[in-house]
Amino acid sequence: MPTNQGFQDNTPAVIMSSKQSLPAPKSVDTQSVLKRLQSELMCLMMSGDPGISAFPEEENIMSWKGTILGSTETVFEGMEYKLSLSFPTDYPFKPPKVKFETACFHPNVDAFGNICLDILQDQWSSAYDVRTILLSIQSLLGEPNISSPLNTQAAALWSNQEEYRKMVLKLFKPAS
């Protein structure tokens, strides 16, 4: 319960600042987005999924930071990747923009951290949430789609898992 208490104390301040920084969207609409993000946050904190976490940034509940741990028995094992999630005002009808903040050497992640994942684009569904997005990205790490790579070098190296692991370790820079 102490985490819950902290969360309750914390979040109104988050909402407060988000109200100021939002570019004056429709109030009714924003209310439902805020409610949904709050219930997602609550759900994430209660569920305690191993290997994923997310929390709103200090300034803005429409913008979250997430972390993903590389799954065991993949070349990403033990790596911790930070991501940014930016929610549109018509969330959840539109997907959030999700990017890797930590450089990630992966066939479906480009040099800027953009992710090529269908559920973040045309296969988005409003039933998805932060938790399912992070879990999807976590499983994408271990099961890349080699046929449409953003990072062709990573796609080419994927078949050699030993070399790939070395590359991952070499390129990994913990986020500052």
Three-state secondary structure call for residue 55: strand
Shortest Å distance, C-beta 26 to other proteins:
6
Chain CA centroid to CA 72, Å: 19
Answer for the pair 90, 29: CB distance below 8 angstroms, yes or no: yes
Q: In terms of residues, how long is the chain?
A: 176
Please state, as a whole number, how many other Cβ atoms lie within 10 Å of the Cβ of residue 2.
Answer: 6
Shortest Å distance, C-beta 13 to other proteins:
9
Of 73 and 122, CB closest to other proteins: 122
Of 64 and 81, CB closest to other proteins: 64
Of 98 and 168, CB closest to other proteins: 98
Shortest Å distance, C-beta 169 to other proteins:
38
Nearest-10 Cα torsion for 82, 148, 112, 135: -10
The C-alpha atoms of residue 162 and residue 167 are separated, in whole angstroms, by: 9
Clarify whether 43 is annotated catalytic: no
Of 33 and 104, CB closest to other proteins: 33
Applying CB under 8 A, the residues found at the interface with other proteins are 4, 8, 11-12, 15-16, 19-20, 26-29, 31-32, 34-36, 38-40, 42-43, 46, 90, 92-94, 122, 125-129
Shortest Å distance, C-beta 126 to other proteins:
5
The C-alpha atoms of residue 26 and residue 61 are separated, in whole angstroms, by: 16
Return the structure tokens found at 23: 């570019």
- Catalytically annotated residue among 61, 104, 115, 116: 116
Give kind and range of the element (H or E) at residue 141: helix 130-142
Please identify every residue annotated as catalytic.
116
